[in-house]
Structure 1
């Protein structure tokens, strides 16, 4: 008996689209490898003592590089007839889950260090937080980095061990699961007698729950850091103190990075999270699933590329601000500049009246 159209398997209806998804994933993963490698190379040649963000940038880029390589291998493996392909795809997917979590948590770590650097600049301007608080923030940053490296490995170890013991990789390469994130096993395929379906189903929902919880926790924490960083940046803009052009360039650059790195984070993981939630609430495959699958292929592997673009753009802006002539207006905050313009305009009538009075006395 044939399945009705609305419950027909995804691979039966959308087979022509999956080679396109494969090549999109291959292209974005390749570009992300290049972007992450560029940031790693840049970070290696920088002095971490001059900027607190270099080390977390290196670790974030390294996790993005490993994730992009994982996506690249899965894209190359898709469509081949390699031996033990099911086992390879399953274990690659598990490694990918570890790297998803690592990338999420290292994004938190990098945003934390940007926020700490902004607080440090605020303190150095003579109007901010005490040095002891900054030191505690740096210590918290080190703890966040250690947890970002250990938590993904600890959380995904049960999936790796129990999944292989219970042979959850059976027919894993079918239903295009090798190139899709958290795709559920097809109900039409009979499992092997050695496969413990209850354990495999539990591991699947465990992985989904961990990923969604990690994403929303990361999003919440990054949003809090972003709001506080924006508050600090506005304090700089409204400050009445005098800043050198180099200081203002650093503050502007850090402020831009603390804005745009979270935007890249949401752009990369938003489609994958949306698709996963829709799959959980509406398992029937639709054209919306397919559109989000294509969007996921474009974005999920591209965080290294986007981070490289954002960092390169902000670094160019930083160099432009540093090269500007050190005029009096450039060494002041925007509020001081506007106050100076208003003060100059208010003095113009007084100066003209004084000039008129002096010329009149000369004539007399």
Structure 2
């Protein structure tokens, strides 16, 4: 009699966990949608949405917005009796895969543009950039946007086609898979007698593979690009021949960003990645899985919110540094008045590279 009682207690514990995950995901997805919408609205009202530096940020924010809507819809469907809910949940999960892989690639695309813009400004040494170089950068940026949108769609197409054809959506929502990323089809043999279990299992491992691969490659690329950006930025500042307090403060800020970006990006998706790896090694649910499920619901759905928050903080710090530097320039002695003009030129050059000043929002 002890075993059935223990199994019943464990089942009740999992029901409480899934209920908590539903509410956590609902709150965080709502905040993520608000954050992404705010960032997009800010760019539109500031009339900077067509800026080459801001455009990749808008792509990322739009992807975060659609992903947040998918998360939010899944939580609203969970626990309700809607016709064809299993089909809707299964396809929403597949659509969500498209958007979070796209967000990885859009992040890499934005950091690549940051490095390219910084490299052009350093190589030109204050001269005007040739139109051919600008045209080449724009073409590559457009191609990167197309690939960042097309690659996730192509990767997830088998999940749509084969999954629906093999009826992998059967009893999808009843096994809590509507609110969980890549929940293993461990009970397919019992719950889905009419489904092609071998195809569904293969699609499950395929989904995990493309998720882990895209995350790890994106994280590695981002770290390499940010280290390169830090080096280029230091060379750019030192090439002016004078390092004032504002320039040193900006270098310090860049050093912080190089540490912040990969950490923030990993914190957003790290629990989901760790959970996927552990589930591959130990498929049976444990207390560790329970904890990671909750962390995943808390972090993975908050990408849009974190992007918006870090963007606002970065903008505030950047403007604060500019104001402090201008106040310092205004209080210079007559012997140092010539530095004031140089200082203003340095500020203008920094202001003309908002990609670096505002790039913190695209790494999470």
TM-score, normalised with respect to structure 2: 0.80
> RMSD of aligned C-alpha atoms?
3.6
| Alpha-carbon distance in 2 for matches of 1:331, 1:245 | 15
Larger radius of gyration: 1
Tell me the SS of whatever aligns to 1:190.
helix
Contact preservation (8 Å) 2:185, 2:200: no
Q: Which ranges in structure 1 are unaligned for 5 or more consecutive residues?
A: 334-364
Q: Does 1:82 align with 2:82?
A: yes
Matches within 5 A, 1:10-49: 11=11, 13-48=13-48
Alpha-carbon deviation of 1:117? 2.8
What is the CA-CA distance between 1:65 and the residue it aligns to? Answer: 0.3
Residues 216-295 of structure 1: matches in 2 within 5 Å?
A: 216-239=216-239, 241-242=241-242, 260-295=260-295
1:215 aligns with 2:232: no
Question: Aligned in 2, Cα 1:254/1:121: closer, same or farther, shift over 3 Å?
Answer: farther
Aligned pairs for 1:1-364 within 5 A: 11=11, 13-48=13-48, 51-126=51-126, 136-187=136-187, 190-239=190-239, 241-242=241-242, 260-324=260-324, 325=327, 327=329
Corresponding residue for residue 361 of structure 2: none
- Point out 4+ residue stretches in structure 1 off by more than 6 angstroms: 1-10, 129-134, 243-256, 329-333
Change (3 A) 1:331 1:220: farther
- Aligned mates of 1:258, 1:51 — CA distance in 2: 24
Deviation per CA, 1:303-357: give whole Å up to 9, x if none.
1111111110111112222323251678779xxxxxxxxxxxxxxxxxxxxxxxx
Closer/same/farther in 2, CA of residues 155 and 76 from structure 1, 3 Å limit: same
What is the alpha-carbon distance in structure 1 between the residues aligned to residue 259 and residue 45 of structure 2? 25
Secondary structure, aligned partner of 2:190? coil
Greater shift, 143-152 or 57-66, is seen at 143-152
Distance (Å, rounded) in 2 between the aligned partners of 1:136 and 1:95: 32
Secondary structure of residue in 2 paired with 1:302: helix
Q: Which ranges of structure 2 fall in alignment gaps of 5 or more residues?
A: 330-335, 344-364
Alpha-carbon distance in structure 1 between the residues aligned to 2:266 and 2:131: 33
Offset at residue 88 of structure 1 (A): 1.1
For 2:179, what is the secondary structure of its paired residue?
A: coil
Contact 2:275 2:292 survives alignment (8 Å): yes
- Give the C-alpha shift of residue 262 in structure 1: 3.8
SS in 1 for 2:200: helix
Q: Distance in 2 between matches of 1:288 and 1:71?
A: 23
Distance 2:135 2:249 in 1: 23
* Distance apart, 1:249 and its partner CA: 9.0
Work out the number of aligned pairs and report it: 334
Instruction: Quote how far apart the aligned CAs of 1:45 are.
Output: 3.2
In structure 1, what is the Cα distance between the partners aligned to 2:5 and 2:232?
55
**DSSP 3-state at the match of 1:175:** coil
Which residue pairs with 1:349 in the alignment?
none
Contact 1:60–1:103 at 8 Å: present in 2 too?
yes
